[in-house]
Amino acid sequence: MPPSSEKRIVIYCLALVAVTLAFYNPIIHNQFTGFDDWSYILKNQQVQAGLTWNTLKWSFTTFHEGNWHPLTWLSHALDCQIFHLDPVGHHYTNLLLHAANGVVLFLLLRRATGALWPSLAVAFLFCLHPISVESVAWASERKNVLSTFFFLLALHAYDRYARLPRSSRRKQCYLAVALCFILGLLSKPQIVTLPFVLLLWDYWPLYRLRFSSQRELLPQDLQSGELAPFVSRRRLLFEKIPLFILAAADATVTIFAQRAGNAVRSISEVPVAQRFDNVPVSYMRYLAKFVWPTRLAPLYPRSSVAFPSWQVISSLGILLLLTTIVFRWSSRRYLAMGWLWFLGTLIPMIGIVTVGDQAMADRYAYIPFIGLFIAVVWAINKLAAVAHIPQLWRVVPVVAVVLAFGALTSSQIKLWHDDETLWRYTLSVTHDNYVAHNNLALMYSSAGRSEEAIKEFRSARLLHKYPAKQVLALGFYELRHGHAQDAIEECNSVLATTSDPRAEGLAWAEIGQARLQMRQYDLAVESFTRALQLTPDNVMALSGSGVLDLRQGRIDGSVSHLVQAVNNDPSDVNFLLLEEALRRDGRNVDADKALAEAKRVSHDLREAQNSVAQTLAVSGLLPMARRTFDLSATKSASITNR
């Protein structure tokens, strides 16, 4: 390549990066989201420790979050070591990887086909299509952009390998393919389809896969000069066996990881018929978003009812029609290659093996859409050439589309600014999305907006059958924020659907606390009694029974219950309740010991005392006067004793 051509390629690469960074610039204002960012980064002590030996061992041995992607964990750890918990650094690393993917894709297509402008157009479409926003704006989706980087590098190495004659250098290129494939699999298993993609690359643009030993006429759209050497189909498959073995091994590990994380949905949860119906419908939805990328969302909920037959049949019919058209134009190899790239690379995520609660996801289209970009751009370029349309008039509409996509991308990035913005928007563009309601509720809860949180939790409950443990957690949350009757209803729903003694015991204990809060003391006693019959170690029932014993003057019974509560849960509140009972029994020495233990274990003694006072108040009791103590003096003493 002449020096002037090399300089132009560098300029194009810089322009591609600059335009991508410009349209994605709003990402610098985005926060972390509660959508996996907490478990991947904000609450992950291993990742926050940075690149340490322990983090390295943990990364390769953990199935945390139902995944095995050690290189992704290490990349997050490196971010934490450099940027700590500043979201800008984490987001910008994703963005730089995305821009790098665009550059690598451009250079790959340019070298493989010799076509400059179509290669550049594909790269710009890839970088600025709004479907890519989720992979970039979502910090914990690092695995997507990172694995794609190694996926494209593997294609680069393979293209060089296929064009070289047999030599030691050729072997080095094959080893580079295997190494990049391994690094990609260590980032995310979505690239298990790479061996399949390499066969497509053999078909076009390498033309190694032919249907006779005769050299085919070099097509006008392939300007690289020399076809790769002809190789038999058996040889093409044989040379990829090591890569298929790597893919199978990673797929096996991934299944174990997802089962360990309870991410795989059973047949009872998602019937086989529903899974297969989802395949053609989802393919059509992806195609629709390829053409008209609006109303994008971080999660598209899986339908709880079967798709209408007309929708499944029509989707399947359109897919078969498009496939027929593509293969009817067999001389246009890029059409078949791009179409099969799209169909094939989506197979692991299309829902046959159902993972999570989504029917489809924008992030799943990150690699598959490359095939569609190639097919469409090369087809339009060919038609324009046949129609003798000047190069300038071919560029203008492409630029217009790229700018339109860039504007949509910039707007979509802003929707990832924070949890409330993201999930409010998601609810506006999707239906029956319990995950969006749930995540919004968690955000409101962490922000102390309890009434809004309870409203969203209830909306989620109407759309999804939560396990008993989570329903009881919601009931307890409602109870803590003054919704006693609502908590009782949640617990009654658990009692009506479970036969697990522990769950029933927890439900009766919560009902007892709710009855106590409502000053229905006899019903509270009955509920606590039922709870202790089912779960004798139930701390909530033990402490509640102890308080009600105090109210009725049964001091011995109160002390007995509260001692058991302290033994099972030595918390500051339980020690303070025990102190109260002991003082009422005149056992001041023991009461002082209980108070001392409360001080020792407490993070906020005044808050614990207020909690005890409120519990006693709803029981019609006033706390006995305690000995005064100086918190500042206690702090000074603890500092002195260090």
Q: What is the pLDDT of residues 90-133, one digit of tens each?
A: 999 999 999 999 999 999 999 999 999 999 999 999 999 999 99
Report d(CA 78, CA 81) in Å as an integer.
5
* Residues 597 and 565: beta-carbon distance below 8 Å: no
On the question of pLDDT at 61 being above 60, the answer is yes
Which range has the worst mean pLDDT, 111-120, 383-392, 476-485, 618-627?
A: 618-627
Report d(CA 68, CA 60) in Å as an integer.
8
Report d(CA 499, CA 504) in Å as an integer.
7
Tokens of 451: 């009434």
Q: Would you state the pLDDT for residue 209?
A: 84
Tokens of 294: 């609006």
Domains assigned to the chain: 3-260+267-383+402-420 (no CATH), 430-640 (1.25.40.10)
Q: Would you state the pLDDT for residue 1?
A: 58
* Long-range contact pairs involving 59-66 (C-beta distance under 8 Å, separation at least 24): 63/256, 63/257, 63/260, 63/261, 64/39, 64/261, 65/36, 65/39, 65/40, 65/261, 66/257, 66/258, 66/259, 66/260, 66/261, 66/262, 66/263, 66/355
- Give the phi and the psi of residue 282 in degrees, each rounded to 5: -70, -40
Q: Would you state the pLDDT for residue 580?
A: 92
* Residues 257 and 66: beta-carbon distance below 8 Å: yes
User: Nearest Cα to 28, choosing from 290, 588, 410?
Assistant: 410
Each residue of 512-544: pLDDT tens digit?
999 999 999 999 999 999 999 999 999 999 999
Q: Please list the alpha-helical segments (H only) found in 186-301.
A: 194-203, 233-238, 241-260, 272-291
Tokens of 456: 């969203």
Surface-to-core class of residue 7, CB atoms within 10 Å of its CB (0-12 exposed, 13-18 middle, 19+ buried):
exposed
pLDDT band at 225 (very low <50, low <70, confident <90, very high): very low
* Residues 577 and 543: beta-carbon distance below 8 Å: yes
Cβ neighbours of residue 323 closer than 8 Å, sequence gap 6 or more: 339
On the question of pLDDT at 634 being above 50, the answer is no
pLDDT band at 283 (very low <50, low <70, confident <90, very high): very high
Q: Please list the alpha-helical segments (H only) found in 292-389.
A: 309-328, 333-346, 368-386
DSSP lists the bridge partners of residue 300 as: 360
Cβ neighbours of residue 153 closer than 8 Å, sequence gap 6 or more: 104, 176, 180
Each residue of 155-189: pLDDT tens digit?
999 999 999 887 778 999 999 999 999 999 999 99
On the question of pLDDT at 356 being above 80, the answer is no
**Three-class DSSP category at 240:** coil
* Residues 265 and 358: beta-carbon distance below 8 Å: no
Cβ neighbours of residue 439 closer than 8 Å, sequence gap 6 or more: 34, 35, 419, 423
On the question of pLDDT at 260 being above 90, the answer is no
Helix (H) or strand (E) holding 359, with range, is strand 358-360
On the question of pLDDT at 236 being above 80, the answer is yes
Which range has the worst mean pLDDT, 17-26, 62-71, 269-278, 446-455?
A: 269-278
**Three-class DSSP category at 273:** helix
Mean pLDDT of 316-325: 96
Question: Which residue type, as a one-letter code, is found at position 486?
Answer: D
* Residues 31 and 87: beta-carbon distance below 8 Å: yes
On the question of pLDDT at 360 being above 80, the answer is yes
Higher-confidence position of 289 and 624: 289
- Give the phi and the psi of residue 331 in degrees, each rounded to 5: -70, -20
Mean pLDDT of 580-603: 93
On the question of pLDDT at 2 being above 80, the answer is no
Report d(CA 94, CA 136) in Å as an integer.
5
Q: Please list the alpha-helical segments (H only) found in 62-141.
A: 70-83, 87-113, 116-128, 133-137
Mean pLDDT of 338-346: 97
Mean pLDDT of 585-608: 93
Q: Would you state the pLDDT for residue 631?
A: 38
Q: Would you state the pLDDT for residue 416?
A: 97
Report d(CA 309, CA 277) in Å as an integer.
9
Q: Would you state the pLDDT for residue 395?
A: 87
Mean pLDDT of 329-350: 94
- Give the phi and the psi of residue 20 in degrees, each rounded to 5: -60, -45
Which range has the worst mean pLDDT, 84-88, 372-376, 605-609?
A: 605-609
Q: Would you state the pLDDT for residue 259?
A: 81
Report d(CA 282, CA 299) in Å as an integer.
13
Each residue of 190-216: pLDDT tens digit?
999 999 999 999 999 999 887 654 444
Each residue of 547-563: pLDDT tens digit?
999 999 999 999 999 99
pLDDT band at 632 (very low <50, low <70, confident <90, very high): very low
pLDDT band at 3 (very low <50, low <70, confident <90, very high): low
User: Nearest Cα to 195, choosing from 187, 186, 184?
Assistant: 184
What is the sign, positive or negative, of the torsion defined by CA atoms of 273, 274, 276, 277? positive
Q: Would you state the pLDDT for residue 363?
A: 96
User: Nearest Cα to 213, choosing from 232, 198, 241, 194?
Assistant: 232
pLDDT band at 306 (very low <50, low <70, confident <90, very high): confident
Q: Would you state the pLDDT for residue 184?
A: 98
Tokens of 370: 């490359």
Report d(CA 40, CA 244) in Å as an integer.
30
Cβ neighbours of residue 192 closer than 8 Å, sequence gap 6 or more: 185, 247, 250, 251, 348
* Residues 352 and 279: beta-carbon distance below 8 Å: yes
On the question of pLDDT at 300 being above 80, the answer is yes
Question: Which residue type, as a one-letter code, is found at position 524?
Answer: A
Higher-confidence position of 641 and 13: 13
Q: Would you state the pLDDT for residue 285?
A: 97
Report d(CA 497, CA 171) in Å as an integer.
62
Each residue of 432-482: pLDDT tens digit?
999 999 999 999 999 999 999 999 999 999 999 899 999 999 999 999 999
- Please state, rounded to an integer, the average pLDDT across all residues of the chain: 91
